[in-house]
Amino acid sequence: SAVISQKPSRDICQRGTSLTIQCQVDSQVTMMFWYRQQPGQSLTLIATANQGSEATYESGFVIDKFPISRPNLTFSTLTVSNMSPEDSSIYLCSVEGGEARDYLYNEQFFGPGTRLTVL
Amino acid sequence: QKEVEQNSGPLSVPEGAIASLNCTYSDRGSQSFFWYRQYSGKSPELIMSIYSNGDKEDGRFTAQLNKASQYVSLLIRDSQPSDSATYLCAITGQGAQKLVFGQGTRLTINP
């Protein structure tokens, strides 16, 4: 599977500020995904990012709050804008990938995550 | 009804026993089924994928899928303390690539 890194690994931010999270993959991938995991909760998909097109957001998530860039096939950023304490979560990027025979079957692998605390 | 349901646990199993984790889903068109393991403070790690009815074995892990009954399960044989983690069931729907996760089951293996 692809090796995925995220920066920063954690941050503490003030209310009203913005944070940009980077996701880097060691191979070219078509689709990248951004998830949120709130404290004690499971993962929720924020958006899907394809290179060269606008990100597709899930219900409850909007571009103004979570703008995403996908400038090439190995990199993406997620910005959490105008933060409030409710945005305190772990933010994870994932990519599809694996053995060729599995590629059609949507296996996703996750980066290490960014732990965000908003005061 | 939630799309993907798991018993949140905690599930406590003695070392060496079989741990059985279950997951039910609501979308009959679901195509791909996954089990992830998540240690505290870490990101989810894919441990099993299953796409067809029946059993799939990988080492101490066996995934079971029954599309007619809309459930998928994970069996862990010879449970070890290192298996203590939260296990997340995830599913993709028909024609969709996004993963929908269950709430996760916290598993504790007692030495």
Q: What is the pLDDT of residues B44-87, one digit of tens each?
A: 999 999 999 999 999 999 999 999 999 999 999 999 999 999 99
pLDDT at A105: 65
pLDDT > 70: percent of chain A:
92
**Mean of pLDDT values over B23-37:** 93
Which of chain A's residues have a Cβ under 8 Å away from the Cβ of B46?
A: 1, 107-109
Q: Is the pLDDT of residue A101 over 50?
A: no
pLDDT band at A100 (very low <50, low <70, confident <90, very high): very low
Q: Is the pLDDT of residue A52 over 90?
A: no
The mean pLDDT of chain B is 93
pLDDT band at B7 (very low <50, low <70, confident <90, very high): confident
Residue B104 has which token pair? 């996760």
For testing contact with chain A, the best of B43, B45, B50, B100 (most A CBs within 10 A):
B43
pLDDT at B78: 98
pLDDT band at A106 (very low <50, low <70, confident <90, very high): confident
For testing contact with chain B, the best of A9, A36, A43 (most B CBs within 10 A):
A43
The residues of B whose Cβ lies within 8 A of any Cβ of A are 31-32, 34, 42-46, 49, 51, 88, 90, 92, 97-104
- Determine the distance in angstroms separating the CA of A42 from the nearest CA of chain B, rounded to an integer: 5
Please answer yes or no on whether A96 and B97 come within 8 Å at the CB atom: yes
Are residues B15 and B3 in contact, defined by beta-carbon separation less than 8 angstroms? Answer: no
- pLDDT tens track for A56-79: 999 999 999 999 999 999 999 999
Which of chain A's residues have a Cβ under 8 Å away from the Cβ of B63?
A: none
Helix (H) or strand (E) holding B39: none
Cα–Cα distance for residue pair B72/B74, rounded to 1 Å: 7
